[in-house]
Every structure is written in C-alpha cells, then in structure tokens.
Amino acid sequence: MRIISLNANGIRSAARKGFFEWLPGQDADVVCLQETRAQEHQIVDAMFRPAGYHCYYLDAERKGYSGVAVYSRVRPQRVVRSFGSAEFDAEARYIEAVFPGLSVASLYMPSGSSGDPRQEAKFRFLAEFEDFLRRVRKRPREYVICGDWNIAHKQIDLKNWRGNLKNSGFLPEERAWMDALFDRHGFVDAFRVVDPRPDRFTWWSNRGRAREKNVGWRIDYQVVTPGLGQRVRAADIYTGHRLSDHAPLIIDYDWPT
C-alpha cells in the first residue's frame, strides 16, 4: 500500500506546477492533500478528480484558506470530515477515509508563525487533537494520519535548529507534544522507521534560495498506530519537481490494498 501526503499550498497552484501530470506515475493507493485553499465549486475541471480515484474534498468556511482532501483507489466505507472540534472543524483541518480495519486521514495543523494569537490557537488545537488521538488509540483499527503537522520534532528535523528555538514550529512546548505523541501515546513516525538520515526535509522557505541550499524543515509526517509501524517498508521525499513549497512524502506499507 502506497500513501502520498502533500501540502499543496493551493491545489490550483499545484496543478499549474504539474502535480496532476506527476501523480499517475506514482502508483499511489491513497493520496492525502493539505492546504487546498479552494472551494469545491472552484475546482470543477476533471483534473481535480484524477482517473482511478474516489476523491473527497473538505473546504474551510473562509474562502482561500486551509482545506484538506483524500483520493483513494478503493472506495471508503465512509468519510469523516471532522475530529470533533467546535473551534477548528470550520477551518477544514481533518478528513478521514475509513476502510476495513484501517483509517487514512489528511491533517493540516495550524501554524503559529504569524503571531501570538495564532500560536495560542495552535496550542488549543494541540490540546484538542491530543484528546482525539487518545480516542483513536482505543479503537480496534490501524490509523495513518498524514499531513502537515507544522512541527519539527527533533534537531535532526530542521537545518538551523539553533536559530529556531524560540520560533513557532520548534518551540519546546510543541516538541514536547510530539514526544508525548510518540512516547506516551505510542504512535510511530513512519518515515523514521526506515530513514534515520539527517537533512531529509519536506518544506523550504521561498526566501534566500533555501530549497537550492536544502535549508529546510521536516514538518510533514505519516503518523501511524503501532501495528502499521511494524509494516513500513520504504519511504521517500520527492524533490524532482517543485510541486509546492512542500515536497510529497511517499511511504509504502506491507498492507493489503
């Protein structure tokens, strides 16, 4: 089973950059997109529903903002468009495709980089989402939660970690939250199961030729329940074409499709 996750930084922008020409050659079973930034009535062209996939979009109430999507070769039993947050569900940050014994979700966690009010909102999101993840661990099914988590977990996960200790995305509180995710709650960072190398990033600033110099952050993850953590077979970050300011994260699992 191959799952791809990508923060598209605007689905229409990614389309112009060749995402839908690139996708058919990837043989993905499930594709999770974040930051689609379009209402569904704005993406009526057939390219936004690729052949061979069942496509599900979730739009934010605010136009041009946030948004997530899931494409799946197999039709899900159902699609969940909320994680139960009165504050954040309107921002379209979570969509989950439910299959027998398995759920695959696309997550777009808030960024706090625009200032203190958004960082406080991010902390509220973390608290609510941790409660949701506790419930997930009690369910008799495996989970893959793909997406832009907007946190670099460890020093290895960003180039200039010393200069970012006080910046959103690498704050001690955020990193401690990730510690709890993996250590206390038992989730697994699927990429790190098979790739322990440094300088493996998924996002680069558009300033200062950061991508050319590989001065980046690893903030896109596929976070899985323990049963799937034992079934990770391969992982890659695709950097051949610039489809977004993020790169697609591609992971293969030993799981029936």
- What are residue 225's phi and psi, to 5 degrees? -75, 160
Is 148 catalytic? The answer is: yes
Let me know: does 7 contact 35? Beta carbons within 8 Å: yes
Pick from 63, 206, 219: nearest CA to 154? 219
Output the CA–CA distances (angstroms, integers) from residue 80 to 57, 103, 108, 253, in the order listed. Answer: 11, 10, 15, 23
Output the CA–CA distances (angstroms, integers) from residue 253 to 174, 229, 230, 232, 235, in the order listed. Answer: 28, 9, 9, 5, 9
Output the CA–CA distances (angstroms, integers) from residue 170 to 147, 159, 176, 177, 209, in the order listed. Answer: 17, 12, 10, 11, 21
Q: Which residues contact 213 (CB under 8 A, 6 or more apart)?
A: none
Let me know: does 250 contact 238? Beta carbons within 8 Å: yes
Q: Which one is catalytic: 29, 59, 148, 189?
A: 148
DSSP lists the bridge partners of residue 72 as 30, 54
Active site residues: 148
